[in-house]
Amino acid sequence: MRPILIGLVAAFLAAIMVPAAALAATATPPKIPIDPAAKAKGMHDAPGVITAAGVECDLADARLLGPSTDAKTKAITNFYEIACKNAEGYIIGIPAKPGPLPVIYTCLEVAASGSANIQCALPENADPKAGFASMIEKVRPDCQVSNARAIGQTQDRTATVFEVACQGGAGYVVNTSFPISTTKPMTFNSCLAYGPSAVTHCTLTDQAADDAYFASLVTKIGKPCAATNHRWVGATSTGSNYFEVACQDGKGYMFELKSDGTVGQAVDCTLADNIGGGCTLTNAHAAQTAEAALYSKLAHEAGFACDVSKYFPFDTAPAGYEAVELACSNRPDGAVGLFPANPSDKAKIYDCAHSELVGFRCTFTQVSAAYPSLTADLNKLGKSSCVVSGERVIGVTPDKLGFVEVACADGNPGYVISYSIVDMTVKDATSCPLAKDIAGGCQMPENLPKH
């Protein structure tokens, strides 16, 4: 819901009795003197006021502001200022007679009203941003608040809306509970999602800060990208926001900014049609064609002659690399390519018979298309009688030895082949009858003893 304008604060509180010296409206409201008797009465009543209002507050100080009489209903409401330890302060109105709900405003909301009549004047509330920042940083330690302002309360009094600016450039519109509480959900919507013409928009961060912050997010998506444009795509019910980024090299990505401020999965625009209607800042079809040609070039340069017909970028890859599954139009076997962000580094190609040893499983092509490479590995070890007809990846040890069980087309016992994962060189092949001590031995039906 849209927030109520902060001006309503003044409308609620205008009739509260305050010292005459404080009644004049000025650009900088004068400091309100605090009557010791009002403090004593406030501290006496404060525990009951806090309970009645249902606010989250470890009481630090309080004062009685005075009664306010509704012009229409003649109902009387007694108003208090409450200061809380390491938390936001409040102006709270408690109805003299049961029935109406308490009136609750944070000191940030009161400050935003610009009222000279009503101020949070207790020393602990002198900077209302400080108490609010303490609450925000409990929920989002990644946001060290540099500035904050109140936007308002929703019409149904279920939420209070604020804007915060964080050190480092991040800015958020924060939807909190009503009354505000660190034990209830807070939704942080990036200021990047709000245009300057939106009803709710950010004013504490400028375009330069937003652009710098977005650039910092792009560095965390795990893809080589010099951003040229970006847009907010949408938000989820769990508080995540999705963005599209266009890159200087013509590529584009969708990525998730999670509710805790961390960057989640980045998806190539060629595969992002199901996210918010797909990319609009890049031509996904043209990018897909260009990417296929690029991956073909990179695969050939790495010694794997593949004319790429389709590809799929994996979500995870070793640092500094992009992991992509390749299907080829000129050969039946596919592969997984690890292509470096630094052109001076070498690409790594793993055919589909070996790729699972490094954590990537092929889906475009059958693993059986790469069995000849396993047969070639056995030939290197002098096991030339076995033409591989089946494979089971066993796993990898902490010292980077990988093990694969293979079956032989002639029906004779197969082998467990070991590899050095560092460079995928074949090390040894142990006949299944002798491989019982290797992860439980051979388990493929073709390799079990015949009775």
Residue 77 has a pLDDT of: 93
- What pLDDT, in 10s, does the model give residues 419-441? 999 999 999 999 999 999 999 89
156 and 247 together in one domain: yes
Q: How far is CA 57 from the centre of its chain?
A: 30
CB 351 within 8 A of CB 306: no
User: Is 280 part of any domain?
Assistant: no
Sign, CA dihedral 402-403-407-408, equals: positive
- What pLDDT, in 10s, does the model give residues 294-343? 899 999 999 999 999 988 888 788 888 989 999 999 999 999 999 998 88
For residue 397, give the CATH number of its domain: 3.10.450
Please identify, among 124, 157, 178, the residue that sits at the C-terminal boundary of a domain: 124
- Whether 4 has a pLDDT exceeding 50, the answer reads no
SS3 289: helix
The C-alpha torsion from 18 through 23 and 25 to 29, rounded to 10°, is: -50
Q: Tell which residue, 85, 140, 86, 82, has the closest CA to residue 107.
A: 82
Residue 29 has a pLDDT of: 55
User: Is 360 part of any domain?
Assistant: yes
- Whether 390 has a pLDDT exceeding 50, the answer reads yes
136 and 97 together in one domain: no
- Whether 46 has a pLDDT exceeding 90, the answer reads yes
Sign, CA dihedral 41-42-47-53, equals: positive
Distance CA(444)–CA(60), nearest Å, equals 71
Residue 6 has a pLDDT of: 38
Q: What order of strands is seen across the sheet that includes strand 263-268?
A: 227-235, 241-247, 252-257, 263-268
Kindly give, in sequence order, each residue whose CB lies less than 8 Å from that of residue 226, ignoring residues fewer than 6 positions away.
247, 248, 249
197 and 298 together in one domain: no
- Whether 19 has a pLDDT exceeding 90, the answer reads no
Q: What percent of the chain has pLDDT over 90?
A: 54
41 and 143 together in one domain: no
Q: Tell which residue, 290, 281, 423, 401, has the closest CA to residue 348.
A: 423
User: How many beta carbons lie within 10 A of that of residue 173, not counting itself?
Assistant: 21
Distance CA(105)–CA(112), nearest Å, equals 11
- Whether 266 has a pLDDT exceeding 70, the answer reads yes
Amino acid at 87: A
- Average pLDDT of the chain is 86
267 and 137 together in one domain: yes
Tokens of 277: 């209607």
Segment 95-122 mean pLDDT:
88
Please identify, among 304, 330, 365, the residue that sits at the C-terminal boundary of a domain: 365
CB 82 within 8 A of CB 101: no
120 and 138 together in one domain: no
Distance CA(270)–CA(196), nearest Å, equals 30
Residue 24 has a pLDDT of: 30
Q: Domain containing 137: what range?
A: 132-271
- Whether 234 has a pLDDT exceeding 70, the answer reads yes
Looking at residue 401, the DSSP 8-state letter turns out to be E
User: Is 73 part of any domain?
Assistant: yes
User: Is 207 part of any domain?
Assistant: yes
* pLDDT confidence bin for 251, thresholds 50/70/90: confident
Residue 59 has a pLDDT of: 97
Please identify, among 108, 124, 140, the residue that sits at the C-terminal boundary of a domain: 124
120 and 153 together in one domain: no
Residue 357 has a pLDDT of: 94
- Whether 100 has a pLDDT exceeding 50, the answer reads yes
User: Is 40 part of any domain?
Assistant: yes
User: Is 1 part of any domain?
Assistant: no
168 and 200 together in one domain: yes
Q: Write the DSSP string, 223-264.
A: S---EEEEEEEEE-TTS-EEEEEEETTS-EEEEEE-TTS-EE
Total domain count for the chain?
Answer: 4
350 and 235 together in one domain: no
359 and 374 together in one domain: no
136 and 264 together in one domain: yes
- What pLDDT, in 10s, does the model give residues 337-370? 999 988 889 999 999 999 999 999 888 888 899 9
User: Is 277 part of any domain?
Assistant: no
Residue 284 has a pLDDT of: 64
Of 14-18, 33-37, 53-57, 350-354, minimum mean pLDDT range: 14-18
Segment 259-278 mean pLDDT:
83
- Whether 15 has a pLDDT exceeding 80, the answer reads no
- What pLDDT, in 10s, does the model give residues 147-184? 999 998 988 888 999 999 998 888 889 999 999 999 99
300 and 267 together in one domain: no
User: Is 431 part of any domain?
Assistant: yes
